[in-house]
Structure 1
């Protein structure tokens, strides 16, 4: 009898502690003074996001309603939604050394082998890959590439000009853009 009561008491205490922890997580943004749409207990904003026709339009609507920085919950995990370019530049570029990781959609979290890319990695591996790639896309390096890109664009425009002057037919611009993109990548 005593062991049954003790077991029930332990189970009840564990359930109460679990519910208190989840409720405490949902107060995360409130404690920081960050607004956001109302959530469903335990599911967070999953129900709303799954029931909407367009995920991006829902985020745009919330951005109009709650501002450029607001909070969402994927389940019980708090997620910042940021559309302020200056803030993102501060986090991703100026304070990159302090920014360790980011969340990745669970659909993409399948890859377990060593063959991962920047879009599918998390944690220290993502940080290391960003650290290696960041210098490649600095404004100085992109300015150096500008003449190469301009040359490829001029070549494509010359090709368009040749086709239109000689044949007067429709042009599949998609094919020309694919070729131009490959030219830029290969140079």
Structure 2
């Protein structure tokens, strides 16, 4: 009986400690004075996003309410949502060398397979791939690509004119446009 009581008290103490630890995680954005919607215990904002008819509309509403930089929780993990282009340019381009990694997407483990490309790469591999790809997308290189892209878009517009008053799947045409741009 005594051992059962001790084990029960230990279990209750550990459970209370775990709940307090989880609750304290939700103070992360409050400590840094970062706005955001109030999270639900254990789920954070996942249930809100899951129950929304369109999760991107919920994020857009939060962006209008809390500004271009705010925080939400994926479960108990804090996540910054940023829609400020100047801030993103500072982080991804000017301070690129300071960011060596990023968190793994929950689908990455399922979809990754044996190869590791930019979408699912981690750590130094991701950093190396970004370092190789970054010079490709400089403003000067994008200006060089503009006439080629315009030519592909003009071909798409001709195709759309041919399909006037017909029902068609625009997704197929966009896939073809993407391949045209990539192959030029």
- Could you say whether these structures have the same fold, taking a TM-score greater than 0.5 normalized by the shorter chain as the test? yes
Query: d(CA) in 1 for partners of 2:61 and 2:173?
Result: 37
In the TM superposition, what are the counterparts of 1:6-155 in structure 2 within 5 Å?
A: 6-152=6-152
Structure 1 pair 75/173, CA: closer, same or farther in 2 (3 Å)? closer
Deviations 1:29-57 (Å, cap 9, x if unpaired)? 01000111111111111111111101011
Match of 2:4 in 1: 4
Query: d(CA) in 2 for partners of 1:59 and 1:22?
Result: 24
Structure 1 pair 140/27, CA: closer, same or farther in 2 (3 Å)? same
Q: 1:183: Cα distance to partner?
A: 3.6
Instruction: Single out whichever of 74-83 and 126-135 deviates more from structure 2.
Output: 126-135
Query: d(CA) in 2 for partners of 1:10 and 1:135?
Result: 57
Query: d(CA) in 2 for partners of 1:72 and 1:59?
Result: 10
Query: d(CA) in 1 for partners of 2:67 and 2:181?
Result: 38
CA-atom RMSD, angstroms? Answer: 3.1
- With structure 1 as the length reference, what TM-score do the two structures score? 0.79
Equivalent pairs counted in the alignment come to 181
Instruction: Single out whichever of 33-42 and 174-183 deviates more from structure 2.
Output: 174-183
Secondary structure at 1:182's aligned position in 2?
helix
Unaligned runs of 5+ in 1: none
Match of 2:181 in 1: 184
Q: 1:179: Cα distance to partner?
A: 5.1
Structure 1 runs of 4+ aligned residues shifted over 6 Å read none
Query: d(CA) in 1 for partners of 2:85 and 2:75?
Result: 27
- With structure 2 as the length reference, what TM-score do the two structures score? 0.80
Unaligned runs of 5+ in 2: none
